[in-house]
Amino acid sequence: MKKLLAALAVLACVLAPAGAFAQSGAKMGDAPYRVVFQVSDNDPAKWNLALNNARNVQADLGMDNVEIEIVAYGPGLNMVKAGSAVAPRIASANSQGVGVLACENTMRNTHVERGQILPGVKFVDAGVVHIMKRQREGWSYVRP
């Protein structure tokens, strides 16, 4: 009897996550991978690394199987401004479905207007909070 109860307890632990996933309306294997990258450095090398990571994730998992966001805040905001050293790479990433997001808190604090930001870059109120929300939603987090 003790062995049966132990086996049932183990089975319940194994099946509980699957049950919770099924209750969310999703099916195992149907949900795409989702990853959010933080880039808070005013450094083209860091940006190139993040953009390379995003491209490699898409290559490995397939563009249709992954959602990718790169969130720029703090000094990293400079790299999403017009004339940035990585502007062509950001445009290419956008065309490949990578969302590049600029923090409006940083923009306000550094007196940067939306018109100074590269085309295709979207905006979030607070970069750090956006990353926190994404993590709570189950997104993977990477800081290259």
- Tell me the two tokens of residue 54: 């995003």
Tokens 């183990």 locate to: 10
Q: Given this model, what pLDDT does residue 20 score?
A: 39
Phi first, then psi: give them for residue 110, nearest 5 degrees. Answer: -110, 10
Q: pLDDT tens-digit profile of 23-58?
A: 334 444 455 999 999 999 999 999 999 999 999 999
| pLDDT class of 112 with cuts at 50, 70, 90 | very high
The DSSP line for the chain is -HHHHHHHHHHHHHHHHHHHHHHTT--TTTSPEEEEEEE----HHHHHHHHHHHHHHHHHH-GGGEEEEEEE-GGGGGGGBTT-TTHHHHHHHHHTT-EEEEEHHHHHHTT--GGGBPTT-EEES-HHHHHHHHHHTT-EEE--
Angle between helices 87-95 and 44-61 (to 10 degrees): 20
**Angstrom distance (rounded) from CA 44 to CA 71:** 15
- What is the model's pTM? 0.79
| pLDDT class of 74 with cuts at 50, 70, 90 | very high
| pLDDT class of 61 with cuts at 50, 70, 90 | very high
Tokens 């808190």 locate to: 105
Q: Given this model, what pLDDT does residue 30 score?
A: 53
Could you give the C-alpha distances from 80 to 6, 12, 17, 50, 133, in angstroms and in order? 56, 48, 39, 13, 22
